[in-house]
Amino acid sequence: MSVSAFYASFRELTGTTPLQFQKQLRLIEARRLLQADRLSVSSAAFQVGYESPTQFSREYSRQFGVSPRMDKGAGITAPGF
């Protein structure tokens, strides 16, 4: 399978690109770490692979509609796909 065919098939199945899908998985794991494991925002960001807590917070807010700091104490909720 060619790279372009893979990307087309992946997008057809998931509705996202592989990079977007990976980002969603990282953010969902970060949310779990914040809520269940009670990690700090910076620790959760670094643990899932972000180098910048600021960039992490921006993408987290875009994905879930609330800042990671506000979401931290909210408890477990459904993933925001």
Amino acid symbol at 23: K
Structural domains for the chain: 17-71 (1.10.10.60)
In this predicted structure, the answer to whether residue 17 has a pLDDT above a threshold of 60 is yes
CA 34 to chain centre: 12
In this predicted structure, the answer to whether residue 81 has a pLDDT above a threshold of 50 is no
Q: What is the mean pLDDT of the chain?
A: 90
pLDDT of residue 57: 96
Q: Taking a C-beta distance cutoff of 8 angstroms, is the pair 20, 81 a contact? A: no
Least confident stretch, 16-30, 46-60, 65-79:
65-79
The 10 Å Cβ neighbour count of residue 81 is 10
Question: Which tokens in the block code for residue 78?
Answer: 């459904």
pTM of the model: 0.81
Question: Which tokens in the block code for residue 54?
Answer: 């600021």
